[in-house]
A and B are shown apart, each in its own frame.
Chain A
Amino acid sequence: MPGGPAPRAVAALATDKELSDFLKSVEKRAFKRTAYTVRNDDAALDIVQDSMIRLAEKYADRPAAELPLVFQRILSNATMDWFRRQKVRNALFVNLSDFEGADDESGDFDLLELLDTSGGRAGTENASESVSRMQILQLIDTQVQELPARQREAFLLRYWEELDVAETASVMGCSEGSVKTHCSRAVHALAKALRAKGVTL
């Protein structure tokens, strides 16, 4: 029978709608994360598009539940490829500071200070009256942009894409311990920078 294997494949793979919904849910964050790293909107769009097509080409026969992790891996690889092509690998790997002298950031500083507000998100209104919500958001965006690349990647994968530690480690190709360290340093650095500007969340 010519059409023999087709039904089995159809049963296993994500449907068009699932793939579409998945891409829709992930594309904006994917673009932003890539833009943080490559610092060029056009390049980031190209990388995201390439990643989407690679996902569709090779992994359309995977169950929908596997798509997020596979997509993050593809995106991460595509970004690395872009840097290789650009021969500006320094931009990714310049952050030796990830491994040295960062301890002083966490010791003397209580994260709760930044969180210590009366009631959830409404607390943002406590920030200096003159600073609008949009300015605060802009500030956070800038501070994230200024994080060292590996810290930012770990932070965004873990808390924005909401992968768990093991998944983040597999996407970044490092140990779970490093992921925790990167995340912790990133959060502390952001908290410190925002506190310095008088912002609480």
Chain B
Amino acid sequence: MNKSLPSHLLQRSAEAAQARLALRLTASLTEFQALSTRADIDARLRFAREQALATARQARLTTAPAVVSTAGGVAVVAGGPGRTPWWLRLGSLVPLAVLLAGLVLIERHYTRSQIEAAAEIDAAILADDLPPEAYRDRGFVEFLKTARP
């Protein structure tokens, strides 16, 4: 019956038949798949989908996403320095500043007490009845060493 048709019509009907058959075959594949589902595969696919959705959510949240994909395909978000507020990061510096200020104060206090102690001795010596030159005298030094209790 096809013999009488022009060749282009014949070809078109052949293509249509091919498409129809192909769609029935793929419908059969879908049906086969629906009838022979495997729980483990379904579970793995669901897990994969959830992973992908989590990844997409992260990719959208961060403007420059720092996503590291590990061998198992699990996505881990590293750091995310842009996401902590500035005042929190500044806050982490406060203890360090306090420590430094404390060290400087202690150092100053120590130097000043040393200077004061030295000044006190100097003042005592200068204000004494005994002239400072006396301490140069060996006999007097010897006297001080032995005469003290």
Residues of chain A touching chain B, judged by Cβ–Cβ distance below 8 Å, are: 5-6, 9-10, 13, 16, 19-20, 23-24, 27-29, 31-32, 41, 45-46, 48-50, 52-53, 55-58, 60-61, 111-112, 114-115, 121, 134, 136-138, 140-141, 144, 155-156, 158-160, 183-184, 186-188, 190-191, 201
Contact A111 B17 (CB under 8 A): yes
- B31-58 near A? 1/0 per residue, CB < 8 Å: 1110100000100110111011101110
Contact A53 B75 (CB under 8 A): yes
Contact B59 A138 (CB under 8 A): no
Contact status of A23 and B52, CB under 8 A, knowing A61-B60, A159-B26: yes
Pairs A–B under 8 Å by Cβ, sample size 10 = A13-B60, A32-B29, A48-B48, A49-B52, A52-B49, A57-B75, A114-B21, A144-B29, A159-B26, A187-B21
Which residues of B sit under 8 angstroms from A48, Cβ to Cβ?
Answer: 45, 48
Contact status of A141 and B29, CB under 8 A, knowing A10-B60, A49-B73, A52-B49: yes
Which residues of A sit under 8 angstroms from B119, Cβ to Cβ?
Answer: none
B66 to chain A, nearest CB (A): 12
Which of B23, B29, B56, B73 has its CB near the most chain A CB atoms (within 10 A)? B56
A167 to chain B, nearest CB (A): 16
Residue of B nearest to A111 (CB): B17
Residues of chain B touching chain A, judged by Cβ–Cβ distance below 8 Å, are: 14, 17-26, 28-33, 35, 41, 44-45, 47-49, 51-53, 55-57, 59-60, 63, 65, 67, 69, 73, 75
Which residues of A sit under 8 angstroms from B25, Cβ to Cβ?
Answer: 140, 144, 159, 187, 190, 201
Can you name 7 extra interface pairs (CB under 8 A) apart from A137-B29, A158-B22? A23-B49, A28-B45, A45-B44, A49-B51, A57-B56, A60-B56, A134-B35
Which residues of B sit under 8 angstroms from A46, Cβ to Cβ?
Answer: 73
Residue of A nearest to B19 (CB): A159
Contact B28 A52 (CB under 8 A): no
Partner of A159, one of B14, B17, B22, B59: B22
B31 to chain A, nearest CB (A): 6
Which residues of A sit under 8 angstroms from B29, Cβ to Cβ?
Answer: 32, 137, 140-141, 144, 160
Contact status of A184 and B28, CB under 8 A, knowing A24-B49, A50-B73: no
User: Shortest 5 CB-CB distances between A and B: which pairs?
Assistant: A49-B48, A56-B56, A52-B52, A137-B32, A60-B56
Which residues of A sit under 8 angstroms from B48, Cβ to Cβ?
Answer: 27, 45, 48-49, 52-53
Contact B44 A183 (CB under 8 A): no
Contact A20 B55 (CB under 8 A): no
Contact A56 B59 (CB under 8 A): yes
Contact B20 A115 (CB under 8 A): yes
Contact status of A111 and B14, CB under 8 A, knowing A16-B53, A28-B33, A159-B19: yes
Residue of B nearest to A4 (CB): B63
A157 to chain B, nearest CB (A): 10
A57 to B51, CA, bound (A): 11
A12 to B49, CA, bound (A): 21
Contact A19 B53 (CB under 8 A): yes
Partner of A19, one of B26, B52, B65, B73: B52
Contact B52 A53 (CB under 8 A): yes
A114 to B30, CA, bound (A): 19
Contact B28 A112 (CB under 8 A): no
Residue of A nearest to B37 (CB): A28
